[in-house]
Amino acid sequence: MVRKDPEDQTSEEIEKQYIAVYELPSMKMCEDADGNRTSIYVDGLEEFRWSPKTNVLIYTHFPQLSDNAFPRVLFQEIPSRRNLHIHTAKDSLEMQLYFHPQGSFLAVVNKIQVKKNFRYTVDIFDISELYKSVPQQQIIIERDVETFHGCVWEPHQSKLAIHTLSKKVLEAGQK
C-alpha cells in the first residue's frame, strides 16, 4: 500500500479507518468493555489479522494525524479491546505480518530506508506468551536486498525461512 505524505493532505482528504468486528449469527457489532457497540478507530491502518490461536486482533498502523507518532504493531484483545502489547517500529516504511500456521509465532517484516538503500528486519513475537509478556527476537538482514519476497513458517516446528533477492551473489555458507 502506498501512503501519501501527511503534509500533502488537507484535513478533508485524510480518511478515517475503522475495523468493525461482528458477532455471528446475530451480525451485531461486538461490545467493548464498556458495553458500547462501536468500530475500532485506527489512524493509518495498514494491515490486520486475527491470531489463529487466541481472540486477539493484530494490526499495523502508520499514524498520520500526529507528528510524534511512529509506526506500530498493536496486539488487541477482542471483544474487550484491551491493548495487550504495542511494538513501535521507529523508522519503518512498510510492515507485513506472517503468522505461524499453528498460531504460536508472528513474524513482522520491517522495511527501513538507510541513506539510499532499503534494509529489512524481521521481528518475531511469541504469541503463546501474549497474556504475560510478548517475547520478541529480531533478525537483521545484513545484505543489500533488491526484493523481499516473504517469510514462510515450518508447519509444525519453530523454523522460519526468509526469501529475498540479493544484489550480491552468495556461495553456500557465506553471509
Could you give all domains of the chain from N- to C-terminal order, each with its CATH number?
A: 17-166 (2.130.10.10)
**The predicted structure's pLDDT at residue 2:** 40
Helix, strand, coil content of the chain in percent (nearest 5): 5, 45, 50
127 grid coordinates = 504469541
Instruction: Characterize 96-110 residue by residue with b for buried, 16 or more Cβ atoms within 10 angstroms of its Cβ, and e for exposed.
Output: bbbbbebebbbbbbb
**The predicted structure's pLDDT at residue 74:** 92
Instruction: Characterize 20-34 residue by residue with b for buried, 16 or more Cβ atoms within 10 angstroms of its Cβ, and e for exposed.
Output: ebeeeeeeeebebee
Query: What is the C-alpha R_g of the chain?
Result: 18
**The predicted structure's pLDDT at residue 3:** 47
pTM, two decimals, is 0.79
> pLDDT tens track of the chain, all 175 residues?
444 455 555 544 557 788 999 988 999 998 888 888 989 888 888 999 998 888 899 999 988 766 678 899 999 998 888 888 899 888 889 999 999 988 889 999 999 888 888 888 899 998 887 777 777 888 888 877 778 888 999 988 889 998 888 776 667 776 6
What does the DSSP 8-state code read for residue 168?
Answer: S
Locate the DSSP E strands across the chain. 18-19, 40-41, 45-50, 56-61, 72-77, 83-88, 92-99, 105-114, 117-126, 136-141, 145-153, 160-166
